[in-house]
A = this chain, B = another copy of it.
Amino acid sequence: MARIVDVAREAGVSTATVSRVLNGKDVNRELAAKVRSAVENLGYIPDRTARSLRRGASDVVALVLPDIENPFFTAVARGVEDVLHGAGYSVVLCNTDDDPGKEGRYLGVAEHENMAGVLIAPASGQPQLDALLDRGRAVVVLDRQVERPVDQVAFDNQALGERCARELLASGFHRIACITGPVGTRTAIERASGWSRALGAVGVDAPEDLLVHANFRVDGGYEALAHLLDLPEPPDAVLATNNLVGVGVLRALADSHVALTGHGRGDSAGAPVPGGAVGVGIIGDLPFATSRTTDVHLVPLNPRALGTTAAQLLLERLTDPGSPVRSIVQTVAPVGARH
């Protein structure tokens, strides 16, 4: 394996000069050329470990996610990797299962491995970022905002909830339920608040019994829908605030032999018929749906773009640690989407 000394010898210069060439410092053009050809000849690639030790920080970035089996987050991961691999960083995926304890452990690992930075979609509202921030590590929070001065990227969740609810209203549904995530999850709260707001805007108070907090997974949506169908006055439509909850809702409908419909009855009079058709709105996508979803009101997100944006923010933070903190809100996709 070629080392920097080998390159130095081959090029007839010192290791310092080789290092400078490789790191873009000012070096005499001729010497630089010699160095480059020596690097080429020997197939020299710098040892990242030594470089990390010397620099005090590695070229690894931790991507800390609540659920790596959720296609939303795998798409985020792809966006992140596209950007960071291109910039010479490696990405380590960490799965927290939405458990603050696990999350804390991973953040500790990131700290003690001297990782260059951390991208995190926090499990709780208070991820333990202090140690990392105190040490000046680059940190970007994504998808779920936190109340701290730290770089962030997220969707406008309230707008998403509002828009999805509005689509359902516009399709003639009246009694619209909302199945959202845990009360401790910020995206869940915000999207539900958008639903509530949309209903308020047409003079309907969001009925408390139609707001269900579930977990943000398939079983959460499934059970929540079963519960809603059992109500004395069941809803005529359901808004699922994330993709997996949406899957659970659709599956529960199929299992209950309740039809899915894209349009409500439109007559403001009648209550929904128990056992009749139900409308469904979902914030997010259905990547592996096995049937057509033309009757589902999807408000698509772009998790991959969320990932690329977050990664770019991290790169900028790495190059300019002193720049002011930025909080970016991804705008909601402009086009009305009925897939």
Which positions in A face B, CB cutoff 8 Å? 45, 47-50, 52-53, 58, 60, 68-69, 71, 74-75, 77-78, 81, 90-93, 95, 109, 112-114, 218, 244, 247, 250-251, 254-255, 286-293
Contacts and interface: CB of A to CB of B under 8 A. Distances in A.
Nearest to A289: B290
A48 B90 contact: no
A189 to B, nearest CB: 25
A69 B58 contact: no
Contacts of A290: 247, 250-251, 254, 286, 289-291, 293
B49 A114 contact: yes
How many copies of this chain?
Answer: 2
Contacts of A45: 112
B254 A292 contact: yes
A27 B50 CA distance: 30
A145 B29 CA distance: 49
Given A251-B290, A288-B218, A93 B95 contact: no
B75 A90 contact: no
Nearest to A93: B93
Contacts of A68: 74, 77-78
Contacts of A52: 49
B71 A75 contact: no
A243 to B, nearest CB: 8
A286 B290 CA distance: 8
A90 B113 contact: yes
Contacts of A58: 49
A288 B291 contact: no
A77 B49 contact: no
Nearest to A248: B290
Contact of A251 (B114, B254, B291): B291
Nearest to A243: B288
5 contacts: A69-B74, A250-B291, A254-B292, A255-B292, A289-B289
Nearest to A291: B254
Contact of A288 (B77, B247, B292): B247
A52 B288 CA distance: 41
A92 B95 contact: no
Contact of A74 (B74, B91, B112): B74
Nearest to A1: B135
